[in-house]
């Protein structure tokens, strides 16, 4: 099938087989290797992207289901050489170690702050459910999300 | 893993979807809604359909009050039940339960119809649906069919839906204004399926209904005086042991969930 979508503002038109997941399409056909393959089963959140401005696990969506959609990866939120404020907070607080979970954490937490679901530490932790991090123990991620919420996120 | 190849159809009407399902002949045609159960199952090789029929362009989503019922369109996502103010007002029990479904991204895409059609015995929303009572609205080759919720769940991942039927909506009975509702779940982590969960509706006279999930092959419904129900639940359920917990522990959890859901419902009725 022919698939047309907007990836980080760029129009793509590519043939794709129906059984290819959006994750595999983005990584293997569209070169978006910032989207990570963790579990492939919807559990870990490493593959998080925005699909029409809603956070989804790209491994749990078929590429053909994104026909006509606007897809944004973490790269849409960082300019050339500049970082998104949440990325900056994560780095400054030591919340990035291996970094494999980070693209998913960034997108998931941007959505949580946008929806007003980062009011306190408990709600931040709840909204991080399904963003598995094997390195940091989450404490510093929660602090970074709080700082982002209190800074730019609140604007 | 990479799913086995299949054909993919994106019908523009329910009739077209049904005719693709009915016309599949010997091929295994399956509906895909949010894909939050199905796509992982495809990747794991646990589902091997020949054709997928995508409901996403049918505009079956939405929630509206109809007389004493609330009609939930099949593709209404868990997140809408959780966060939409009007949905929360109409269906507080579903709002509380939806919060426990998977993680935020699963809730952003997973649908109410998909959750009911999938019929995982540990899923929260089938439990809420049975606690409300009402009907599933299905479309098949013969047109519309209404299936009472009490007769919808037949067993592990098994429902009364035919292979050529599309679940288009669910109509839930609204409990009387004077009654209260409550939900309680015990799970290992915030985003896991329930080890056990319970949805309760309590009338001001103390008569109650509680529905248990995770402790049988389908949602289990109990009725009686509020104070007697938890013990009755614990005596009646026959959960199986699994890799996480023993049967005896799960039976205890059933009683605990019933007690806490009923307590919350009683409080809600008094409020
Ligand atoms: C990591 C993870 C954690 C999860 N945790 C939970 C949890 O805690 N609790 C819980 O309840 N669920 C959980 N889920 C599952 C999730 O709730 C799914 O959204 C839901 O079970 C299925 O809805 P769907 O729209 O995604 O259906 P799909 O995956 O698209 O379909 C599921 C099944 O239902 C059929 N189907 C779907 N819609 C229709 C329809 N309208 N008519 C006829 N047949 C239909 C499909 O053919 C398929 O067999 C989890 C999923 C993941 C990936
Ligand atoms: S790779 Fe998609 S959730 Fe883990
Ligand atoms: S930083 Fe390594 S998984 Fe989170």
What does the pLDDT average to over A1-23?
97
- Computed over every residue of chain A, the mean pLDDT equals 95
Cα(A77)–Cα(A95) distance, integer angstroms: 18
Note whether B5 contacts A65, CB cutoff 8 Å.
no
B194-213 burial string, b = 16+ CB within 10 Å, else e? bbbbbbbbbbeeeebbbbbb
CB contact under 8 A, A42 and B106: yes
User: What is the per-residue pLDDT for A79?
Assistant: 77
Interchain contact, B109 vs A64, CB within 8 Å? no
Measure the CA–CA gap between B102 and B123, rounded to whole angstroms: 10
Atom of ligand 1 nearest to the CA of B110: 19
Residue of chain A minimizing CA distance to B1: A40
Walk me through the domains of chain B, giving residue ranges and CATH numbers. Answer: 7-54 (3.30.43.10), 63-173 (3.30.465.10), 180-269 (3.30.390.50)
Q: What residue ranges of chain B have pLDDT lower than 70? A: 271
In the numeric block, the tokens 């419904």 are attached to: B221
CA distance to partner chain A, nearest, from residue B189 (Å): 9
Statement: residue A153 has pLDDT above 60: no
* A128 pLDDT more than 60: yes
DSSP letter (8 states) at residue A96: -
Whose CA is closest to A84, among A122, A113, A47? A113
**Cβ-Cβ contacts under 8 Å for A46 (sequence gap 6 or more):** A36, A37, A38, A39, A100, A101, A103, A104, A132
* Pairwise CB contact (< 8 Å): A60 & B56: no
Give me the percent of chain A exceeding a pLDDT of 90: 94
Please give the DSSP secondary-structure letter assigned to residue A21: B
Q: Which helix (H) or strand (E) holds B145?
A: strand B143-148
> Among residues B40, B120, B95, which one has the least CA distance to residue B268?
B95
Q: To the nearest whole angstrom, how far is the Cα of A142 from the nearest Cα of chain B?
A: 16
How many CB contacts within 8 angstroms connect chain A with chain B?
A: 91
Task: Write down the pLDDT at residue A19.
Answer: 97
Could you tell me the two tokens for B40?
Answer: 């992982």
* Complete domains list, chain A, with CATH: 2-75 (3.10.20.30), 85-152 (1.10.150.120)
Q: Which of B5, B36, B105, B188 to mutate to test the interface with A (most CBs of A within 10 A)?
A: B105
Cα separation, A132 vs B239, in Å, equals 30
Residue A130 has a pLDDT of 95
DSSP A71: E
Taking CB atoms and a 6 Å cutoff, what residues make up the pocket around ligand 3? A 96-101, 133-136
Whole-number Å distance between alpha carbons of B83 and A81: 36
Q: Output the six-digit token pair for B50.
A: 């020949």
Nearest to B73 by CA among B59, B84, B87: B59
State pTM to two decimals: 0.96
State the burial class of residue B192 (Cβ atoms within 10 Å of its Cβ: 0-12, 13-18, 19+): middle
Report how far residue B96's alpha carbon sits from residue A115's, in angstroms, rounded to the nearest whole number.
17
Residue B143's alpha-carbon distances to B26, B137, B172, in angstroms, are 22, 10, 21
Q: Please name the member of B1, B54, B191 whose beta carbon is closest to the beta carbon of A130.
A: B191
Give the pLDDT confidence score for residue A1 in this predicted structure. 92
pLDDT digits (tens, 9 = 90+) for B82-109: 999 999 999 999 999 999 999 999 999 9
pLDDT at B191: 78
Band (A154; pLDDT cuts 50, 70, 90):
low
Find residues 56-95 of chain B whose CB sits inside 8 Å of chain A: 56, 83
Ligand 1 atom at minimum distance from B40 CA: 53
Q: What is the pLDDT of residue B190?
A: 76
């Amino acid at each position: 099938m022919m698939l047309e979508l907007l990836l980080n503002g760029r129009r793509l038109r590519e043939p794709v087989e129906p059984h290819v997941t959006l994750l595999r399409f983005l990584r293997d056909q569209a070169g978006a290797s910032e989207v990570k393959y963790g579990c492939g089963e919807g559990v870990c959140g490493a593959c998080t992207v925005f699909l029409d401005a809603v956070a989804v696990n790209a491994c749990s969506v078929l590429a053909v289901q994104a026909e006509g959609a606007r897809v944004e990866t973490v790269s849409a939120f960082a300019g050339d050489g500049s970082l998104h404020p949440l990325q900056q907070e994560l780095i400054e607080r030591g919340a990035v170690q291996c970094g494999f979970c980070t693209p998913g954490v960034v997108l998931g937490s941007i959505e949580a702050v946008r929806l007003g679901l980062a009011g306190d530490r408990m709600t931040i932790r709840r909204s991080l459910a399904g963003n598995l991090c094997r390195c940091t123990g989450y404490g510093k991620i929660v602090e970074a999300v709080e700082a982002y919420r209190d800074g730019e996120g609140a604007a | 893993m990479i799913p086995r190849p299949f054909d993919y159809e994106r019908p523009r009407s329910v009739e077209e979807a049904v005719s693709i399902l009915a016309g599949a002949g010997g091929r295994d045609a399956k509906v895909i809604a949010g894909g939050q159960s199905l796509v992982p199952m495809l990747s794991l090789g646990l589902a091997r359909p020949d054709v997928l029929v995508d409901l996403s362009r049918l505009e079956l989503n939405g929630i509206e009050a109809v007389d004493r019922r609330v009609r939930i369109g099949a593709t209404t996502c868990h997140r809408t039940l959780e966060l939409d103010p009007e949905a929360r007002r109409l269906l507080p029990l579903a709002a509380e339960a939806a919060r426990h479904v998977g993680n935020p991204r699963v809730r952003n895409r997973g649908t109410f119809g998909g959750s009911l059609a999938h019929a995982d015995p540990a899923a929260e929303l089938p439990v809420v649906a049975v606690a409300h009572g009402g009907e599933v609205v299905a479309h098949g080759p013969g047109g519309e069919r209404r299936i009472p919720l009490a007769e919808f769940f037949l067993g592990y991942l098994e429902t009364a839906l035919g292979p050529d039927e599309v679940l288009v909506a669910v109509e839930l009975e609204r409990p009387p204004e004077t009654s209260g509702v409550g939900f309680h779940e015990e799970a290992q982590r915030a985003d896991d399926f329930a080890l056990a969960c319970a949805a309760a509706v309590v009338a001001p006279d103390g008569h109650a209904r509680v529905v248990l999930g995770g402790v049988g092959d389908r949602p289990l419904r109990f009725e009686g005086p509020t104070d007697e129900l938890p013990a009755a639940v614990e005596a009646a359920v026959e959960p199986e042991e699994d890799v996480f917990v023993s049967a005896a522990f799960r039976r205890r959890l059933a009683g605990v969930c019933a007690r806490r859901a009923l307590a919350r419902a009683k409080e809600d009725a008094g409020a």
